[in-house]
Structure 1
C-alpha cells in the first residue's frame, strides 16, 4: 500500500473515529445505564490485566469506580442492557496480549487495536463474536492464523490485519461474505499459497491489499470482475501470469493498481487508460514487454507511474514517445522508467511534464544524445536518475535550478566538458553521483555549498587540478568521497581532516604528491581508505593509530618510506591491507592482520625483513643494545674561549645546500621530526648523494640567542672527540627559498632512537616496544657514561665549557 494512500486513509479514519468517540462519550455522560453487564466488565478487566506497557496511561481510566461504558475507547448499546458494542484503542502504543476472554464480548461489532504492539496469537475466540462487523488490528505483532474461526462472524465487512506476522492461507470460505465484505487488508504478513477463486465472489469489495506476502500462482480472473474495487495491490509476492487485456474496463473505479516485484509477463493493457480515476499504477520489477500505452492524457489524476525494471522498449528511437501524452497528467509526481530497454533520445517533452514531479528515473536503459536543457523546468524534482545510459555532451547548467534535488545520478554515461558550477546551488542534495564519464577541468569549488551532501562520487573521469578546500570542508560527507582515477595533482589539503564522519575515502590513481596529511587521523569514521597509485612520500602518519575502524587500507604504488607501524596490527576490523610497491624498511610486524598473508601485501619493498615465514623475507639483523649509546652534548651556555663564526663554519662546511637539506627531510615534514628544543628542531634526513641517514638540527633564528648558540655549538663540536658524544657531519649557514637566514647542524643518525625513550618508555603508548627494557646494571652503566662525557667537556676538551644540564 502506498504511503500516500495509507496516510490519506489514516487521516480519514482518525477523523471519523475521533468524531464518533466524542459523540459517544458525550452521550454516555448523560445516559449511563443503571444495570451493568458483569460478563463484559470481567472481560474488559481481564483485557486490561494483559497490558504491560501503557505510555499514555489509558488503562488508568479503566477504573471500577466508574461504569465500564464510560471507559476510554468503550461504546455500549443502551437499548440492550448496556452491552459493549465497540472497543477502539488504536494508536495508543499499548503492549501486551489479547486474552481469549475477549470472545465473551458477545455483542461486539467493532474491534480496533490498530497501531499498537500487541503480540502473541490472535485469539480464536474472536470467532464467537457473531455480530462483529469491523476488525482492524493492523500494525501490531500478532502471529498465528487469523482465519482460524472467523467463518462464524457472518456480518464481517472490514478485515484489516496488515503489518503483522500472520501465517497460513486464505480459506475458500472467504467467499461466504459476498454480500458483506467491503475491505480486506492482509498486507505485509507471511501468508502463502494461492489467491482463491472465491475472493472474486466478494462483489462489494472496494479494497484488496495482499502485498508483501508469499502468495504464488496467478490472480484468478474472477478478481478482475469485482467492479467496485478501487484499491488493488498484490506487490511483493511470487505471482505470475499476464494482466487481462480488459482490466481497465472491468475495474473502472480503480484508483490504485499495483503489482510490483512479482513475475508478471506480457503487455501492459491499453484498457488501463479507460480507468479515468487511476492515481497509482505501479508494476515495477516484473517481466512486462513492449511499451507503455500512448493515451495517458485520459488519466488526469495520475500521480505515480512506475514500471522500473521490466523488459519494456525495443532499444530504438521512439521508445519514449509516449511521454508526450503524459504532459496532460498535471498531478504526476513519480515517473519511474529505469532498468528497461528503452532506446533513442530523451524527448524534449520531458521538460513539459507536471511541475509536481518529484521523481524521474530513466537510468539503465539505452538512451543517447543530450539531455534537454528544459529539464530545469521540473522545479520540484527531488530525484533525477539518468545513470547507465549513453548520454553525451555537456550536462545542462539548468540542472542547477532544481534546488529541491536531493539525489542527482549521472554516473556511467558519456558526459563531457566541465562539471557545471551551478550544481553548487543544489543545497539540499545528499548524493551527487557522476562517476565513469568524461568530465574534465577542475572540481567546482561551488560544491562546497552543498552542506547536506552525504556522497560525492567523481571517479573515472578526466578531472585535473587540486581538490577544492571547500569540498573538504563538507563535514556532512559520511558515506563516500571517491575522486579516484582522475588527473588530480598537488598536495592533499590538510582540510581533509574535516571529514570526521566519512566512511569511504578514495583518492587512488591520481597524481597527488607530498606527504599524507596527518590530519587524516581525525577521520575516525573511516572504514575504507584508498590512496594507492599516487606519489605520496614520507612515513605513514602516526595519527593513523586513531583510525581503529579501518577495514580496508591501500597505500600501494607510492613512494612511502620508514617503518611499517606496529599499530596497524592492532586494528581489529582491518581485513585488507596493501603496502606493496613502496620503500618501507625494517621488520614487518607479526601481530593482527600481519599473521595472515592472504589479508595483506608488502611486495616490492626491498628493505623489509622478518615477518611471518610465508613472506619469505630475509631475517632482520639482531640489534645490539649498547649499555651506553651516544647522545647529543648538553646545551652550551658559553665557551671560555672565543672563535669567529666564519672560521668555525668554514672548518665544518661540506658544501651541502639548503635545498639538499630540505629535500633530505621531505620539506621538514612532521613525520621526519625527531624532537624539539628551545633553540630549534631536529629532523631525520636522507642525503641524496649516498643515502646517508643524518639528524639535522635546524635553528629557530627568531628565538633570542639562537644565532649565538649556533656559533658556540660549531666551535665546541669541532673540537670535541669522545665516544659518548655525537659526531657532527657538517654545519649549514645559508638562506631559505624566501631569502631568510638559515642555520643548521648535521649529526650522524642514531638508529636506536632517543635515550629518553629507553630510560622512560611510555608503557601506554601504541608503539610501546617491550624490547626497550633496561636492567639496573644497564641503567647504571648509562649514568657512568654520561658522567664521563660531562667530565670530558669540563676538563679534557680544548674548550672548557660552562654547561647547563
Structure 2
C-alpha cells in the first residue's frame, strides 16, 4: 500500500508506480492533494475501489493509466472530461461498468478531451450498445480498445470519423450486423480485431482493399458469408490474417500471392472449395497456415512445393511425395475432403485403375499411420497438443478467472502467473498458468511444458486439462496451461507458512511428510525410467510440488524439462533438447555450474535437498547458510549423534504428543503408519 504521506506532496507531477504488488484504494481526494499531476500511472497492481472523481482537479494530467487492476464502478467521464490535456486514458483489464445498458454513454463526455490519443477499456464489464457519440471522440485518437466486454448491437457508422486510428479492438463482445465499410477509411490502421462477435453478411471489399497499412486483421469466429475479397491482395503490409470460424465460400483468392510478408494465415472452419493454390509455397515468410475443415483439394503432381500446418500438424508436399508426419492428418484429410483423384496422373484416371490405386493408397496411409504412431514422439512439432480433446479460448479463460482478477491470483514465478478459475463449460475448478511472454524463454518454456505433459500419465504428476495458444485483446500472443487445481496448494506453503496467515497455521505430520517424499520419488522414478523418452525435470523444489485434497503430492512445472534421447548409432551418447540451463538457486546440483551435462542425477540431488528441507524446515537459501556452509553440510555435521537437534521443531512436538498418548493407554496407534500408494507398512521406532 502506498503511504498516504506521498499523496500529500503537492509538487509531484510524475507519479508512476506500475508493475508492483500495490493494493488498496486510490484516495478520493488525490486530484486535490496532487493538483500538478501530469502522469498518474499504477498499472499492473492490485488497486481496488473506484476511480476518484477528484482527478478532475488535476488539470495538467496527460496520462492516466491504471490497467490491470481491480477497479470497479462507473468511469467518471463527466469529471475526466475537464482534462483538456489528457492524451492517454487506459483502464484495460479492470472491473469497471455494470454490464447494463447505458454503460458507455460516458463516451459523449470524453469528446471534450480533444487531445486524447489512446482509450483503453478492454476486459471490463461495460454493457449496452456503442452510442452514436463515439463519432465525437477526438480525431487524434489512435488506439481504441473495447474488447472482452458485454457490448451488443452494431458499430455506428460514425466511427468512421476517427480517421487516425492505428488499432481498433472490439473482440469478444456481442456485436452483430454487418461489418461497417467505413472502417476502410482508417488509412493508418495497423491492427483490426473484430473476432468472436456475431457479425454477418459479406466481408466488405472496400474494408480490406483500402487498408494499405494493416498488419494484423482478425475477423474470425463470426457469421460472415460470401467470398474472401480479392482486394485483400492490396493490403501489402499484412502479416497475420485470421478468417477462421465463419461461413466463407469460394476459393482462396489468387491475389493473396501479392502479400509477400504474410506470416500467418488461418482460414479454417469455413466452406472454402477449389484447389490449394501453389503460390502458398512461395510465400517465404509464411510460418503458419491452417486450411483445415474446408472442402479444399490438393494436387501433388504440379511442380513446386510448399509447407503448411494443418491444425498445428505439418504436411509437406513435394512433387509426387506426400509425407504424413502423424496420424492426426488422416483426420484432417477427412475433414478437409481432400479428393484422392487429384493424386492420380490423368492417363490413369479410368475407373478400374482409380479403384486399384485408391485401395493401394488406403494401404499406404495405414502403413504411414503405423510408422508414425511408432515414431510420433520424434516427429512432434512445437504445436502438437492433439492429446487433449479440445483447447480453450482466451475469452473462456477471461470468464473463468473473472478477467484474471487479482483475487484469483494463487501464485507467480519467473515465467508467469497462476490463477484459480472455473471453466464455464462444465464448472471444473482449474489452475490457469499464464505465461509472461515478455520473459526471455517463456515461449520455449510453454512448448517444453506441453511436450513434457502431452504423453506422460502418472498419479503423482500434475495433470494438464487443456491449453490455450491464442491472441489477447491487445493483439499480443497469449499462451497458458490449464491444470488440475490442487486444493492444498504447494508443499512450500506448508513447509514455510507466512506470518500473515489468517487461518490455522499449516502443519505437516511426520507421516504426511513421508508420504509426500514417496510420492515425489515415485514421480521421478516414472519420469526417469518409465517414460518412452526419459525426462529430467531440472527444477524440483517445494513450490513445484502440489498437494490435492487428500494430501497426495503431484510434481508439476515441466517448463524446464530436458528430454534425453539415446542416439541410435551410439547408445552412450545423450542428445539433449533444452531451453538453456535453468533451475532454482539452492536446488541446482553443483556440477551444472561447472558445465556438466544435464542428467537424472541432477534431479536426484535436487530431491535430496528437498528431503533435507522437509525434515529440517530450513530452505537451502536460509540466511544461516553462508561462508561455505550449505544445508547438506549442516545436516552431515549433525549426523548421527545430533540428528534431533536439526529436526523441524513441530515434528518434535508431534513426538511428545505421541508419547503422552502412549502414557494414557493409546499405545501403538502411531507405530505402524500406512503409506497410501505403496501399500507398505512403515515401522517407526526411536532409540534413546
For normalisation by structure 1, the TM-score amounts to 0.42
Q: Which has the larger radius of gyration?
A: 1
For normalisation by structure 2, the TM-score amounts to 0.48
Higher relative contact order (CA 8 A, sep 6+): 2
